[in-house]
Amino acid sequence: MLLKGKNIVIKGSGRGIGKAIAIACAKEGANIGLTSRTIDELNTTKKEIEELGTEVKISVKTADITKFQELMEAFMMFHDGLGPLNGVIANAGYSRMWTTHEFINEKFAEILNINVLGVFYTFKAAYPYMKMDDKKDKARFIVTGSEAYPNAPPKLAAMVASKFAVVGMQKAMAAEYKRENINFTMVLPTQVDTSLLRGKKAGDGNKPEHVLDPWDLNDYYLFLLSENANRIDNGLIFSYDFQEVKRVLLEAPSGKKENWEVFKDYFKEKAPKSYDNVKNYGKLVDFIISRC
Ligand SMILES: NC(=O)c1ccc[n+]([C@@H]2O[C@H](COP(=O)([O-])OP(=O)(O)OC[C@H]3O[C@@H](n4cnc5c(N)ncnc54)[C@H](OP(=O)(O)O)[C@@H]3O)[C@@H](O)[C@H]2O)c1
């Protein structure tokens, strides 16, 4: 199992992308800390993990990521229940859509508070409990960003501002903690079929074709949490480009897709724009190939 015995906390794991990550990590043998504001959703995630029969430890604590005290209490509890943390995924997020001059002031502030301040609070509260004593298996702090960086779609000024901000925050933190055994990485998804994007329609089976399912992102988080990614720091994993990898792999002749070394020229020819974002992550492509 890829993450056997590791302790991973996932923010926003009551539904959507965070829930999919939590279940995927448990399937790979990790002990899981679940947190968001809604206890019923967290308990549902917990139950679904228990039904897998993996017998991993599961710790559940509600916390609002805009309230530092609540986060400190949550991380203390996760540490007590699970032990030192190998990985923390700052995935909780929020967005609303309005033309900028009509954007409700309080909503703009709330989005920045959840998506930016929440990431800072998460790191600050988690830091004392992150397991940083092993150079060969560094601790991971992973943020769920968005394709809003760098694409900046209209009517989403608050979300765009927040997702640009966390890219800068990551760069600063990766430089600041370079000498410590902790790596900072980010997954930047395109649209995903969750309640954030589709409200109550999420998961109804009628999503537009280009919209991903939450579990389509699992491989990226699992790879970043695994020892395969020990050398990746300040990494940006754009889901669009790695979904292109998956698409091109499906149609590639068998002799062209054994591993990144043999696949890369074929991929460059078929998806030259994505190639630039993928070329430094050959190990992730190998990981995807190994799981195809
Ligand atoms: N869906 C997309 O199309 C898409 C695309 C790009 C990036 N993303 C990013 O993916 C991440 C996950 O979003 P999602 O699509 O999975 O949305 P989602 O289904 O709405 O899930 C969001 C999660 O974050 C939690 N959360 C929100 N505000 C919180 C707060 N103040 N304190 C604690 N937890 C909070 C929610 O739980 P509670 O409300 O119970 O607290 C929920 O568990 C976000 O960072 C989002 O920006 C999503």
Q: What is the pLDDT of residues 41-71, one digit of tens each?
A: 999 999 999 999 999 999 999 999 999 999 9
* Boundaries of every domain in the chain: 7-233, 240-292
Report pLDDT for 292.
85
CA of 14 to the centre of ligand 1 (A): 9
Q: Is the pLDDT of residue 241 over 90?
A: yes
CATH topology of domain 7-233: Rossmann fold (3.40.50)
Residue type, 72: M
94 ligand 1 Cβ < 6 A: yes
* Plot region of 133 (φ>0 → left; ψ -120 to 50 → alpha; else → beta): alpha
pTM above 0.85, yes or no: yes
Mean pLDDT of 84-95: 98
Rg (the chain; Cα; Å): 18
CA distances 276 to 46, 102, 113, 246, 285, Å, are 39, 37, 33, 16, 13
Give the closest residue to 210 by CA, choosing from 192, 194, 237: 192
C-alpha of residue 196 to centroid of ligand 1, in Å: 6
Give the pLDDT of residue 50: 98
Judge if the beta carbon of residue 16 lies within 6 A of ligand 1: yes
Q: Is the CB of 65 under 6 A from ligand 1?
A: yes
Q: Is 92 in the pocket of ligand 1 (CB under 6 A)?
A: yes
- Asked if 186 and 145 count as a contact pair (C-beta separation under 8 A), the reply is yes
**How many Å apart are CA 11 and CA 125, to the nearest integer?**
12
Residues near 200 by beta carbon (within 8 Å), at least 6 away in sequence: none
Query: pLDDT tens, 205-220?
Result: 999 999 999 999 999 9
14 lines ligand 1 (CB under 6 A): yes
**Which atom in ligand 1 lies closest to the alpha carbon of residue 191?**
3
The alpha carbon of 19 and the centre of ligand 1 are apart by a number of angstroms equal to: 10
Give the mean model confidence (pLDDT) for residues 99-124.
Answer: 98
Which one, of 208, 213, 211, 216, lies nearest residue 245 by Cα?
216
Instruction: Say which amino acid occupies 120.
Output: F
- Residue 248 reports pLDDT greater than 90: yes
Mean pLDDT of the chain: 97
